[in-house]
Chain A
Amino acid sequence: MRIAATLRMALRALRRNKLRSTLTALGIIIGVGAVIAMVGIGNGAKSQVEAQIASLGQNVVLIFPGNWSSSGARSGWGGAGNMTVEDAEAIGREVDGVTAVSPEVRNRQQVLANGLNWNTQILGEGTEYLDIRDWPLADGAMFTEQDVRGAGKVCIIGKTIANELFPNEDAVGQTLRIRNFPFKILGLLTSKGLSVMGTDQDDVVIVPYTSLMKRIERRTNISSIIVQSTSPDATDRVQRDIADLLRQRHRLAQGRDDDFTIRGQQEIANAATETTRTMTVLLGAIASVSLIVGGIGIMNIMLVSVTERTREIGIRMAVGAHGRDILLQFLIEAITLSLLGGVMGILLGVGSAKLLSAIKGWPLLVSVSSVALAFLFSAAVGVFFGFYPARKASRLDPIDALRYE
C-alpha cells in the first residue's frame, strides 16, 4: 500500500478523536518542549561562562611559582617564591610563538583619594598586560615602558574604583594614594564584569610591576607571569617550551619536579564549563523523562485504538490487507501523533525558553541541532512506542477480528 494513502488514513483517524489525539500529543509536546527549553537554558549558561572565560584574554597561558619543600614541610601552591622578572623576560625573549608577556605582582592594599578609601586588589603589571587581557581603556592611556623602568607612580583603575573613590568626577588625571605613595591615574578601564569565580574584575588598580615591587612591597620575586601565545594551536607547544626554559633557568635536575605550574586558558575553561555541561545534561535528562512518559501515553492510546478498531482491522484484512499494511497504518498513526507533538513541542520549548530568558535575564541558546535532535527523538519515540501496538494489530487473526464486538 502506498505511503500517501496510509498517511491520509492516519490523519483521518487522528482527526476523528481530536480531543484524544491532542491529549496524547500533549505528553510529547511537554516532553519535547521541556528538553528544548532546558537544553537551551543550559547552553545559555554555558555560553555565559565561556564569555567570562574569554574575558581572561585570548590564548592566555598563566605561570605560577610551584610549591617548595624544606625538611619535609611543604609550602602550598605558589609558595616557592622563586619566580623573577628575569624569568618573564627570558620567556618573552626565547620562546617562539609568544606575542606578549607580563610579569604579575598581586597585593591587596587600602587606597585613598578624595577623602574616601577602599580596600582593593593592586596588580603590578607590564605594559602589554591590557593587550593580553584584551581589555581596552575607556579613557586616558596605559603607562609606558619608561614608567615601568622608572618604577613610576602611575596607575590605571577599574570601573569600580572610579565609582567608589571618584563618584561624581572624572578620575583620569586625579591622584590616589597607595600606602602614602601618590599615584597619578593615567587611565580608566572599561568594565569587564564578574570573573569565572564571581569576583569583581573591575575592582582593581593596575600599576607598573616595578612600582609595586620596589616602592610598596619591597620584594624581588613576582606572583605569576601572564603570557599570550599567537594562536590556540600554538598554546600547547608554547606551554612545553616555557616549561623547558624555566627548568633550565631554575637548574632543575632530570627527575626533579617542576617548581612552577603552567595553566593554559583551555584548562581553566574546561574546568568551568564542565560544571555547566553537567547541569545541561542533568536538565536534559530530567526533561527526557517527560518525553518517555509522553511516549508511554502514545503507546497506551494506540493499544486502546487497536482494540477499538479490531473490526476495522478485520475488514481490511478480509479485503486483502497484509500484516505489514496494518502495521504501517498504525505505526504511521503513532509517528504522526508524536511528530505533531514534536513540532508543537519545539514551538513551546523555544517560546518558553525565550520567555524565561527574558524574565530572568539568562542568555538563551536554542541551537538548530537541539531542535533537530528533539524532532528526531520524538519521531523515534513514535516508532518505539507505536511499534508494539501496531505489531499487535498486524498479527490479529482476520476471522477473530471480524467477529469482534
Chain B
Amino acid sequence: MAAVIKLEDVHKTYHTGEVDVLAVRGVTLEIAQGEFVAIMGASGSGKSTMMNIIGCLDRPTQGRYFLDGVDVSHLDRDELAAIRNKKLGFVFQGFNLLSRTSALENVELPMLYTHDHISSARQRELAVHALHIVGLADRADHHPNQLSGGQQQRVAIARALVNNPAVLLADEPTGNLDTRTSAEIMGVFQKLNNEGITIVMVTHELDIASYTKRNVIMRDGIVVNDTLVENRSVAEVELRKLQQAQQAVKLST
C-alpha cells in the first residue's frame, strides 16, 4: 500500500539562546494508507515536534518529508497552509473550537480557506454531513459552551474531516476527557479508520494507544520502538465494560 506519510532521516533543531535543542534527531518513518498509528513518548521525547512536522505546522531542519507523495519539507508558509487545508485534519487536546460560533460554522471553517470556491449551500451540506458522521447532526446550531467535552471533540473531528483530508492528526485528543468519553471518542476514530481514513495520534496514555493499530515509541528525539498492537481495544467492548462496572457500583450501594 502507498505511503501517505514518509519521513526520511528527519531532524529538527531549535536554536534557543546559546544551546541548540535537538528535538528530533533522525527519524525515518513510513505510514501507509489506512493505518492508525499512535506516536508515544514521555514529555521531551520529541513526539510533539514530530506531530508539528507531520502536521506541516513546522519544517524539518534536515531530512525530507513526503506527504501523499509530495515533498513538503521546503514549502513556504502559504504553501504549507494550503497543504494543511487540503490534506490534513487536526484534532487537538483542547478542542480549539471558535467560541460563540455554532458547531456548524466551526465545521465550515476550513472551507472558508479552501482555494477552490465552494458555494455556501455546498459548504453547509458538507458540514452537516461531517457532523452526521460524528453523530452530532442534531446539535449543529449549538455553540461550544452548550456542548459537553466529548461533543466538542466530535465537532473538532467533524471539522478535521470536512475537507476530506489524506490524514487525520490528533494531538492528545482524549487528554481533557474522562475515561468514558475518551472511549467514545476513540470509538469515533476507530469507526473512521475502519472506513479507510489514515489516523496519526500523539498520546502518552497506553490504554488510549491500545485502541490504535500501531504504536511508535519515541525517546530523546528518535524512534525506539515501532510495533503493531496486539490485543487491540475495541471501543464498543470497553464501553460495555465501563457500563457494567458502573452498574456494579450502583448495585453494591
* Chain A residues packing against B (C-beta within 8 Å): 1-2, 5, 12, 16, 311-312, 314-325, 398-399, 402
Contacts and interface: CB of A to CB of B under 8 A. Distances in A.
Given A16-B100, A399-B58, A1 B82 contact: no
B138 interface: no
A320 B82 contact: yes
A319 B52 contact: no
Nearest to A405: B94
Interface of B: 52, 55, 57-58, 77-78, 81-82, 84-86, 90, 92, 96-98, 100-101, 109-110, 112-114, 117, 159, 163
B83 to A, nearest CB: 8
A279 to B, nearest CB: 50
B82 A322 contact: yes
A2 to B, nearest CB: 8
Contacts of A314: 96
A165 B13 CA distance: 103
A323 B117 CA distance: 19
Nearest to B160: A319
5 nearest A-B residue pairs (beta carbon): A320-B85, A319-B110, A320-B113, A321-B113, A322-B78
B114 A320 contact: yes
B84 A320 contact: yes
Contacts of B82: 320, 322
Nearest to A4: B120
A325 B113 contact: yes
B58 A1 contact: no
Contacts, number: 58
Given A398-B57, A402-B92, A322 B98 contact: no
B53 to A, nearest CB: 10
- Of listed B57, B58, B81, B101, residue having the most chain A CB within 10 A: B81
Given A311-B96, A320-B110, A398-B57, 10 more contacts: A2-B112, A316-B113, A319-B90, A319-B159, A320-B84, A321-B81, A321-B113, A323-B81, A325-B113, A399-B58
Contact of A319 (B78, B100, B113, B117): B113
A312 B99 CA distance: 9
Contacts of B85: 319-320
Contacts of A1: 112-113
Contacts of A319: 84-85, 90, 109-110, 113, 159
A5 B112 contact: yes
- Of listed A323, A324, A398, residue having the most chain B CB within 10 A: A398
A330 to B, nearest CB: 15
Contacts of A318: 55, 57, 84, 90, 96
A312 B113 contact: no
Contacts of B52: 399
- Of listed A2, A318, A398, residue having the most chain B CB within 10 A: A318
A2 B114 CA distance: 10
Given A16-B100, A312-B98, A315-B98, A322 B58 contact: no
Contacts of A316: 109, 113
A34 to B, nearest CB: 35
Nearest to A394: B77
Contacts of B100: 16
Nearest to B110: A319
A311 to B, nearest CB: 7
A164 to B, nearest CB: 76
Given A320-B81, A322-B82, A399-B57, A315 B113 contact: no
B81 A322 contact: yes
A85 to B, nearest CB: 86
A16 B143 CA distance: 14
A312 B109 CA distance: 11
A398 B58 CA distance: 9
Contacts of B92: 402
- Of listed A2, A311, A314, A320, residue having the most chain B CB within 10 A: A320
A184 to B, nearest CB: 89
Contacts of A315: 96-98, 109
A312 B82 CA distance: 18
15 contacts: A2-B112, A12-B101, A316-B109, A318-B55, A319-B84, A320-B81, A320-B82, A321-B112, A322-B82, A323-B77, A323-B81, A398-B57, A399-B58, A402-B92, A402-B96
Contacts of B86: 320
A402 B48 CA distance: 13
A50 to B, nearest CB: 55
Contacts of B78: 322-324
Contacts of B55: 318
A322 B57 contact: no
A323 B84 CA distance: 13
A318 B109 CA distance: 11
A324 B82 CA distance: 12
A314 B92 CA distance: 12
Contacts of A312: 98
Nearest to A395: B77
A109 B244 CA distance: 122
Contacts of B112: 1-2, 5, 321
A12 B159 CA distance: 20
A319 B117 CA distance: 16
A399 B56 CA distance: 10
B195 to A, nearest CB: 21
A312 to B, nearest CB: 6
Nearest to B82: A320
A171 B86 CA distance: 95
A317 B110 CA distance: 9
Nearest to B113: A320
B236 to A, nearest CB: 30
Nearest to B162: A319
Contacts of B110: 319-320
Contact of A322 (B96, B97, B113, B159): B113
B87 to A, nearest CB: 10
- Of listed A1, A319, A324, A402, residue having the most chain B CB within 10 A: A319
